[in-house]
Structure 1
Amino acid sequence: MTADEFTHREATVNGIRMHYVDDGEGEAVVFLHGFPESWYSWRHQLRALRDRFRVIAPDQRGYNLTEAKGPYDTDTLQADVLCLLDHLGLERAHVVGHDWGGMIAWLLGMNHADRLLSLTVCNLPHPAIFRKHVRRPRQALRSWYVVFFQLPWLPERVLAAQGYQRLARRMIRECRPGTFTKDDIKEFLAGWRRQGLGGGIGWYRAALRRPPLIPDPVPLITVPTLLIWGDNDRYLGRELTEGTDEYVATLRVEHLPGVSHWVQQEAPEEVNRLLLEHLAAVPR
């Protein structure tokens, strides 16, 4: 599988030049990647869904082929997605997010449910649950890198060491053997080297300086929601899925034992099956 098998487009969205993949026809499914990835982290899902849906996967602000230009606060990042929908003439779409893309997906579900047909999140807890757990010692230790990323210039330098080869090896080690092909690693390395990871690190810095606004009481997410969780996530514990039903009206939670944080790449067949089942069950 290569990047060339997908249709690539570019548009000016919310004041930045954004690259995105756009393939297939039908109801739109928008895929939002996490750190330190790109649209390419959804390659298995794009291939599996494009015969039934219109699949759209942007490089988010500061990543790969999309312009690295702040601000990186979550209000701006939500607006990026909404402006992309407007650019594409889409009133509503299914939204699927992983890691940081999952955070933006949750916030869209809370704040802009009128633009969503359904919500799917992979390995990122609901913001209200994460806010509770991040102050606890166990999760604070797992999230040590968030504090490290607040330092000026040093995180960028460390991640870029050896041409980002150390970062690639870390992702490979955390997953089942065979998760990433040589072509996959080449694609990620090319994206990291293209403009660095300063934009992605900017998301972490903005999150502490201007945390996501979570109203009190927390708005109930009303669109059908699927939470997929790789239980072998070294960064986010399984316990962060507990209590999600308090904030979501219609929720399905699926745990994948032995699967890491990089769930949609490590277990694509399982994730694709769950996602297709979820989309098929959404009321029309």
Structure 2
Amino acid sequence: MRETMRLQGLDVVIEGQGPTVVFLHGWPDTLALWDDTVQALHDGYRCVRFSLPGFDLSQPPRPQSVDDMCALIGAVVDAVSPGEPVALVLHDWGCFFGYEYAARHVDRVARVVSADIGDTNSGAYLAALTAKEKRMIAGYQIWLALAWKLGSIWPAMADRMTRYMARRIGCKTEPSQMGWQMNYPYALQWLGSFGGLRGVARVDKVFGPKVPTLFLFGKRKPFMFHSARWLAQLATTPGCAVQGLDAGHWLMRQQPEVFNRAVRQWLDASRVAAEGDA
């Protein structure tokens, strides 16, 4: 059974029955990123997903501050599961926003599955990056931040810039489904737009120690979005796990069977463990 809830101008799609799982995608995707994963989970979990504000190109641009995004995630969580904490399944910028929401509302998040974005705001991660890797990361992210700024003046060029960079970094999303409106998270990070990223939580201080976490990452990338210390921390924390996949950044599309099986098995095991502790 599939139903749609309209909330704060967004379509929130709900499928399946069981404990609630809320999915958050990243750049340059929509809720469609999770189609296969929802199919793998919906017979045992109530799967909730929506396209982040501004990522549905049929709607006007809708940039969000970190506070706004956390408030939106909270409104969705409270609407779909008012009495119980939820699991979060996250990717890319969905990881960043989901981590921040969970850090602020630990009581509303039972567990987290995060894909490919780890402790990127930790000292261990920054120290591990080579100068070349830092240049590569800054290069594509600043490009997208500038495309965001250009979008309100010259949207056609901003779209071309966005799609060009997506091709360069291996994104297989259909170009017609990508646009400059999606780039505002990079404007937050590099231009300080909409309040920037000041004061966000240190990921490595929350996940693992306070929230059971499964971290899945692609091993075939020019650089990683996590530190070796993050992997070791999760691998040695009871209730947490890590797994590297033979994939790039979009591992749920490049290795869907492996990804979905890992998510399902860990959610099932984590659920049983939580019920046993109750």
- TM-score (normalised: structure 1): 0.77
Please tell me whether residue 149 in structure 1 is matched to residue 135 in structure 2. no
Point out where structure 2 has 5 or more consecutive residues left out of the alignment: none
Mapped contact 1:60–1:66 kept (Cα < 8 A): no
Is 1:201 the counterpart of 2:147? The answer is no
Q: Does residue 110 in structure 1 map to residue 107 in structure 2? A: no
- What is the aligned partner in structure 2 of residue 261 from structure 1? 249
Structure 1 range deviating more: 60-69 or 83-92: 60-69
1:230 aligns to 2:218 (yes or no): yes
Offset, 1:131: 8.2
For the structure 1 residues 112 and 212, does the alpha-carbon distance in structure 2 shift closer, same or farther, using more than 3 Å as the test?
farther
SS in 2 for 1:36: coil
User: Which residue identity is paired with 1:204?
Assistant: Y
The farther-off stretch of 259-268 and 206-215 is 206-215
**What SS does the aligned partner of 2:17 have?**
coil
Whether 1:161 aligns to 2:155 is no
Secondary structure of the equivalent of 1:124?
coil
Shift of 1:8: 5.6
CA pair 130-232 structure 1, distance change in 2 beyond 3 A: farther
Bigger mean CA deviation after superposition, 129-138 or 221-230: 129-138
Q: CA deviation at 1:220?
A: 3.0
Task: Quote the sequence identity (%).
Answer: 21
Give the structure 1 partner of residue 266 of structure 2. 278
Q: Pick from 178, 199, 203: which aligns with 1:213? A: 199
The question of 1:252 aligning with 2:241 is answered yes
Please list the CA deviations of residues 212-249 of structure 1 after superposition, one character each: whole Å capped at 9, or x if unmatched.
Answer: 52458974331210000001124x427x2411268765
Taking a change above 3 Å as real, the CA distance of residues 99 and 162 of structure 1, as seen in their structure-2 partners, is closer
1:249-281 Cα deviation digits (max 9, x unpaired): 543110113x11111111111111111111112
| Count of aligned pairs | 256
User: What is the aligned partner in structure 2 of residue 3 from structure 1?
Assistant: none
1:124 is aligned to 2:117: yes
State the alpha-carbon separation in 2 of the partners of residues 92 and 269 from structure 1. 27
Question: In 2, are the aligned partners of 1:103 and 1:127 still within 8 Å (CA)?
Answer: no
1:74 aligns with 2:66: yes
State the Cα RMSD in Å. 3.2
CA distance in 1, matches of 2:124, 2:199: 11
Instruction: After superposition, give the CA deviation of every residue in 1:37-87 in whole Å (9 maximum; x if it has no partner).
Output: 111111110111111111111101111168555552222212211111122
User: How far apart in 2 are the matches of 1:202 and 1:106?
Assistant: 18
Using a 3 Å threshold, how does the CA distance of structure 1 residues 244 and 23 change in structure 2: closer, same or farther? same
Q: 2:12·2:50 contact (CA, 8 Å) conserved in 1?
A: yes
**Inter-CA distance 138–129: structure 2 relative to 1 (3 Å threshold):** farther
Q: Distance in 1 between matches of 2:158 and 2:97?
A: 24
Bigger mean CA deviation after superposition, 248-257 or 36-45: 248-257
1:50 aligned residue (37, 42, 66)? 42
Letter in 2 for 1:237: M
The alpha-carbon distance between structure 1 residues 227 and 156, as it changes in their structure 2 partners (threshold 3 A), is: farther
Structure 1: which 5+ runs fail to align?
1-5
Equivalent position SS for 1:72: coil
